[in-house]
Structure formats: structure tokens, C-alpha cells
Amino acid sequence: DVKVTQSSRYLVKRTGEKVFLECVQDMDHENMFWYRQDPGLGLRLIYFSYDVKMKEKGDIPEGYSVSREKKERFSLILESASTNQTSMYLCASSSPQPSGGRETQYFGPGTRLLVL
């Protein structure tokens, strides 16, 4: 089974703090993703990465950065946390399919972040 783990289930931070959210997958997947999930807005893609040291902006990258130094690890960084970044953060991973077929994303348990 694919296993995606996230470093924390719950986090409480103060406005202005730098926040690191870590994600690790054990299936040697090339692709990794960070989403945030908010009531009424569904899942929104923040950043994704197709390979080590590669990153692409998703739909809502403002206020976030990412790091992928190793294939199995994808970090989301909130440079200066703000209250509107209070959310559920979900990491996912997938493996590209041959001939350009679509791949399934597998999710971690999520990190619920509260910024005070």
C-alpha cells in the first residue's frame, strides 16, 4: 500500500512565524503535491513537484514556498504565517503512467494548522 505521512496532525502557530510542513512518501513516486482544504472551497493546489529540486506553482501559491531535496520528501513552507493560512493541508503523491496515462494521487492524513 502507498503510504504518505505528514509530520504533524495539528499545529498552532503565531502570525509572522515561519512554518514548515513535511511530507514523506514511501512508494518512490516522482510526483508530489501540496493542497489546502477549506470548507466551501474544496481542495486547492498550492504547489507540486515532478522531480527532485523541481517545483511548479499551483492555483494558490502566494504566501507559500516548497522544497524537494529528496525524492521521498516534499516540504511546504509558510514564510510568514498569516491568519488566512489557517487550514487543513494535504500532501499527495503519484507516479506518472506510461504513455501519458493519468495517475492516481494518494493522500496523507493532513495537517490542521491554526494561525493565531
Partner 1 sequence: GESVGLHLPTLSVQEGDNSIINCAYSNSASDYFIWYKQESGKGPQFIIDIRSNMDKRQGQRVTVLLNKTVKHLSLQIAATQPGDSAVYFCAETSRPGKLIFGQGTTLQVKP
Q: Which stretch binds partner 1 (CB under 8 A): 13-21, 66-74, 76-84, 92-100?
A: 92-100
| Interactions with partner 1, residue window 61-90 (CB under 8 A) | 90
Residue 42 contacts partner 1 per CB under 8 A? yes
Residue 53 beta carbon to partner 1: minimum distance, rounded to whole angstroms: 17
Rounded-to-integer distance, Cα 100 and Cα 116, Å: 43
The residues pairing with 58 across neighbouring beta strands, listed in sequence order, are none
Tell me phi and psi for residue 65, to 5 degrees. -140, 170
Side-chain half-sphere CA neighbours of 10 within 13 A: 1
Q: Interface with partner 1 by CB under 8 A: which residues?
A: 4, 31, 33, 40, 42-43, 45, 48, 50, 90, 94, 96-97, 100-110
